[in-house]
Structure 1
């Protein structure tokens, strides 16, 4: 059960990342000179873009101009996976604790 939940969570997160990354790559926004306009299509994308900017995986040049930092993206993806696994671990411990207390 936990494995299925982890796969779904990972797929859900990476799909949104992939959409943002592909939009930047398609615009050739992989260096500061090629920064492009990028408007998030959903609240999920907006939150992810904000995290990516804080991590410097996506660099904001102007109010809505962004470019992709490929080197930082690799590290960002590792951090996101660790964050996701941590959340599932906490949820698993909470469920185990609830089951133990319920007996």
Structure 2
């Protein structure tokens, strides 16, 4: 019995140590700090992510708000203001409870 308790204690310690060694998820770079090239690339990624997600969430109550934000973001990305477009595209995904892609 004592041997079992020691093994369990060692396992719990090892698991805790392993979990604390995992890297923390990086927060997305604020849109205002992205280079133009990075913002343009992120516009494309976020648009693709939105299109994929909308296949599954098109009929949900928040879909119209997400579509409006997405449209605004695409217009800004295509209109030469990709940093603001990224902000709207990120928000469109968050509106659908989806974590936006990062670079």
TM-score scaled to structure 2, two decimals? 0.31
Larger RCO, structures 1/2 (Cα 8 Å, 6+ apart) = 2
Between structures 1 and 2, the one with greater strand share: 1
Larger radius of gyration: 2
TM-score scaled to structure 1, two decimals? 0.31
